[in-house]
Amino acid sequence: MLPFGGQVDFILKIHTRSLEEYHDFVKTKLSKIENIGVLNSTFVLKEIKQSSEYYI
């Protein structure tokens, strides 16, 4: 096992029209990638802020 700096290596943010479309994406695209060991999903129930910009 390789040492990792944290629990998450990558975050992939996607937009789908429905849970069914998301399921199809995971089934036909993500599950075909050999190096993905664990997949965790988080769903937005209500959007509060649309911008992802962060000013330093």
pLDDT digits (tens, 9 = 90+) for 15-47: 899 999 999 999 999 989 988 888 889 888 888
Report residue 2's pLDDT band, with 50, 70 and 90 as the boundaries: low
What confidence score (pLDDT) does residue 29 get? 92
The whole-angstrom separation of Cα 39 and Cα 16 is 17
Site of tokens 């390789």: 2
Write down the pLDDT at residue 25: 94
Distance of CA 54 to the CA centre of its chain: 20
> C-alpha distances in angstroms, 28 versus 7, 44, 48, 56?
25, 22, 30, 38
pLDDT for residue 5:
64
- Sign, CA dihedral 32-38-54-22, equals positive
pLDDT of residue 3: 58
